[in-house]
Amino acid sequence: MIEQWDGAAREAYHQAQRDWNGKLQEMNQILGQISQATSQIAQQYVESDARSAGRF
């Protein structure tokens, strides 16, 4: 379908696709950061729980 477009319509599509791809990359980076933070929190929770259990 895009092959049949030309001029402003084609450029608008390509710009929208570039914007979409950029935002998708940003979202993937943010999700990676969330994943790392969640893993760190989980590890800290396990360590804290083990320390607390050792006090009894």
Q: Which tens digits make up the pLDDT trace of 35-47?
A: 999 999 999 999 9
Instruction: Read off the pTM.
Output: 0.71
Q: How confident is the model at residue 9 (pLDDT cuts 50, 70, 90)?
A: very high
Kindly state whether residue 10 falls inside one of the protein's structural domains.
no
Kindly state whether residue 19 falls inside one of the protein's structural domains.
no
pLDDT at residue number 5: 85
Kindly state whether residue 11 falls inside one of the protein's structural domains.
no
Average pLDDT, the chain: 94
- Tokens found for residue 56: 């009894």
Domain total in the chain: 1
CA distance 44 to 54: 15
Kindly state whether residue 37 falls inside one of the protein's structural domains.
yes
Kindly state whether residue 35 falls inside one of the protein's structural domains.
yes
pLDDT at residue number 33: 99
Output the CA torsion 36→40→46→51 (10° steps).
170
Kindly state whether residue 20 falls inside one of the protein's structural domains.
no
Domain that holds residue 35: 27-51
Kindly state whether residue 6 falls inside one of the protein's structural domains.
no
Kindly state whether residue 8 falls inside one of the protein's structural domains.
no
